[in-house]
Structure 1
Amino acid sequence: MKLGVIGLPNVGKSTLFNAITKAGAESANYPFCTIEPNVGIVDVPDERLDVLAKIYNTKKITPAAVEFVDIAGLVKGASLGEGLGNKFLSHIREVDALVHVVRCFENANITHVEGSVDPKRDIEIINLELVLADLESVNKRIDKAIKQARGNDKNAIVELELLQQIKPVLENGYPARSIKLPTDKKLIVDGFFLLTTKPVIYVANIAESDINKPSHENKHVQTVLDYAKTESAECLALSCKIEEELIGLEPDERQMFKDELGLSSSGLERLIVSSYKLLGLMSFLTAGEKEVRAWTIERGTKAPQAAGKIHTDFERGFIKADIVKYNELVSLGSYAAAKEKGKVSIVGKEYVMQEGDIVLFKFNV
């Protein structure tokens, strides 16, 4: 899973990126500090892996991973190349979802590129630039599809119909993701690589003093929350600066600091939970003496396709899978005990994987 961190300059994008990846991306008080996108791979926090490692006496733990891409601050005119906008927009095309950081704190010492804190305006600046970039792409595709459709190219005819459905939505300033399409048509639109089809998580970057305050007590946060609801997008509030401070502490100190702040989980953990929810993802587990590992798949994935995440041979030669639920294995203390109690199920090709399944795939190639 690849997430692109976007937003106007100086809203806290690189600070958040530093916090969640420990990558040390440069963070400074001037626009376009980030030119080339910084990339960091983050382990997905999963307490189940440590529990299984003790049960299996495992030598190696491999969590699932999320790739974060820190994309430089966009400005008005980015779709026309302002602020190296075209280059930045091309980086967005490569990610699965967008983490849109919005400034929701006042600080006279930190320059705002638009001169004041106004979350709705800031969101709309970014979204408009993405819409305009997509409109240009759609117009080019329509010209090409019209020529191909004249030759009775069936695929071109279908594409043209979809493009002509998307164009007026973009012209009215709305993202392409606001169009509800059946799965088969959505797959075709995904092939257009439009920026505004990307699902979004809005991150309201708040001051430390606003941590744990209800959203209605911070008008800026409430604005972001209300905007996210209009798009059925995910939204969470966190302090990017506090997250950066947390990540620099030792685990014990980090927990103490979280307790002092009244935080039950870090911003990273909440961001990953939101990302999984947004993209319809889940994890299944494999466990043994050599390794305990989490694998990320889409909800609704069947057993053979899940096996293919491990190796293409597993999917090609899939025979069956032995599955035990995580909670039942932990409750009984061992795989052998789970098997003895009849808690290990043998499933076939039509089995739909469930969150927390511990799996042993059987295959033959």
Structure 2
Amino acid sequence: MIPFVNCGIVGLPNVGKSTIFSALTAVPAETTNYPFCTINPNVGMVQVPDIRLDRIHQIVAADRMVPAFTEFVDIAGLVRGASKGEGLGNQFLSYIRNVGIIAHVVRCFKDDNVVHVSGGVDPKSDIETINTELALADLQSVEKRLEKNARLVKTMNIRVRDEAIAMQNLLKKIALRLGDGKSVRSMKLDADDIVRLKDLFLITAKKQIYICNVGENDVEGKTDWVYPVCAIAESEGSEVVILCGKLESEIAALKNAKERSAFISELGLSESGLSQLIRSAYLTLDLCTFFTLSRKENRAWTFPRGATALQCAGLVHSDFERGFIKANVYHCDDLFDFGNEAALKSAGRIRTEGRKYTVRDGDIIRFRFNVSGGSNRIGNSRTT
């Protein structure tokens, strides 16, 4: 399991990727009015906004509060022909293979001072260009694997040969799909097929979120440029986030959370683009959060829905997983209702769970573990 979300920001040049990256991460990125300004990817770690952790910290004091994190990677703009190396495309595509989810920024604003690589704003065409290049890049990987796998089909080892045949049939089916410019994620693959493809790191197998970068006056509603993006996203089962990169930069420049909250309210919004994007990423990847409490720190941890207590213990520390004994668990909603841990304990709301317990979003967990040569210890949580 990964300890944080890894999100790659992609799109055509001059759609506002680097502006959005700088606003979301508060990490300066090169933003100039010409293609390929960003050569090497910019990387920034962002705190995951979670009001539950704030409330927990108010009730159960600790020296510090540590939120979960999302990593954003600003990848240089792709152009038509990127899969063949145009505009350093091969280099940029290799960066995308290493991210966990793709945030595809689409330009939905007009600005004569910011040139468009294709000459005019056309979200549908822009999306088709990027998606086609990603599909063609994957097709090259699949074709190489087909050639390599063909030799295994002729082996005398029955087990190896049967697996190679299954792989060959799968690769041929995927190659046809990619050749039509379609993504692997849009295919209905079973669990075995997903495992077979894992080491290919196919870009179009990754989940994708579309970010509509709109003008300052369009953040509250959809425009003629946003509608086609939403239609494409709906056909793919993808999430859409509508934000204005310029306004997000102004929000990020404000000194404190109170000022940012006030400015967001003035815009008629309930949350920032950062919050929307992270929430969409968590939803798309089916990720959840559990919490650990101690006198030193109250901390949020990201985990995939369906993970067990043993797997979540490993996120905190390998010793917790290796020497796992049990977990004392209660939900943050119970803490909010009862007001403190002592009341929870008196009411019998703190449960003892084993390693196979399926952790829920919002659980607060105290791990008990025992490593070789040591005694039972309480893991990263105060005694209740």
Bin of the TM-score, shorter chain as denominator length: over 0.9
The yes-or-no answer on 1:302 pairing with 2:317 is no
User: Structure 2: which 5+ residue stretches go unaligned?
Assistant: 372-384
Give the one of 221, 224, 227 matched to 1:219.
224
The yes-or-no answer on 1:342 pairing with 2:348 is yes
Q: Where do residues 132-143 of structure 1 align in structure 2 (5 Å cutoff)? A: 132-143=136-147
Distance (whole Å) between structure 2 residues aligned to residue 204 and residue 228 of structure 1 = 11
Task: Report the counterpart of residue 127 of structure 1 in structure 2.
Answer: 131
Task: Report the counterpart of residue 328 of structure 1 in structure 2.
Answer: 334
The yes-or-no answer on 1:165 pairing with 2:173 is yes
**For residue 325 of structure 2, what is the amino acid of its counterpart?**
I
Q: Percent identity?
A: 49
Task: Report if aligned partners of 1:15, 1:244 keep a CA contact under 8 Å in 2.
Answer: yes
Q: What number of residue pairs does the alignment pair up?
A: 362
Distance (whole Å) between structure 1 residues aligned to residue 367 and residue 46 of structure 2 = 27
Question: Deviations along 1:63-86, whole A, 9 cap, x unmatched?
Answer: 111110000000011001000000
Distance (whole Å) between structure 2 residues aligned to residue 265 and residue 248 of structure 1 = 16
Task: Report if aligned partners of 1:162, 1:189 keep a CA contact under 8 Å in 2.
Answer: no
Question: Deviations along 1:22-52, whole A, 9 cap, x unmatched?
Answer: 0010111111110000000001011222222
| 1:16 positional shift | 0.3
Task: Report the counterpart of residue 288 of structure 1 in structure 2.
Answer: 294
Q: Secondary structure at the match of 1:178?
A: coil
Distance (whole Å) between structure 2 residues aligned to residue 184 and residue 314 of structure 1 = 30
Q: Secondary structure at the match of 2:182?
A: coil
Distance (whole Å) between structure 1 residues aligned to residue 101 and residue 175 of structure 2 = 22
| 1:257 positional shift | 1.5
The yes-or-no answer on 1:186 pairing with 2:190 is no
RMSD (Å), alpha carbons: 1.1
Task: Report the counterpart of residue 6 of structure 1 in structure 2.
Answer: 10
Distance (whole Å) between structure 1 residues aligned to residue 99 and residue 248 of structure 2 = 23
| 1:110 positional shift | 1.0
Q: Secondary structure at the match of 1:137?
A: helix
Q: Where do residues 227-306 of structure 1 align in structure 2 (5 Å cutoff)? A: 227-251=232-256, 252-306=258-312
**For residue 3 of structure 1, what is the amino acid of its counterpart?**
C
Task: Report if aligned partners of 1:102, 1:122 keep a CA contact under 8 Å in 2.
Answer: yes
Give the one of 84, 87, 104 matched to 2:108.
104
Task: Report the counterpart of residue 324 of structure 2 in structure 1.
Answer: 318
Distance (whole Å) between structure 1 residues aligned to residue 248 and residue 164 of structure 2 = 48
The yes-or-no answer on 1:359 pairing with 2:365 is yes
Normalization by structure 2: what TM-score? 0.92
Q: Where do residues 13-32 of structure 1 align in structure 2 (5 Å cutoff)? A: 13-32=17-36
Task: Report if aligned partners of 1:99, 1:200 keep a CA contact under 8 Å in 2.
Answer: yes
**For residue 336 of structure 1, what is the amino acid of its counterpart?**
A
**For residue 260 of structure 2, what is the amino acid of its counterpart?**
R
Q: Where do residues 186-205 of structure 1 align in structure 2 (5 Å cutoff)? A: 186-205=194-213
Give the one of 140, 150, 154 matched to 1:146.
150
- Higher mean Cα deviation, 43-52 or 103-112? 43-52
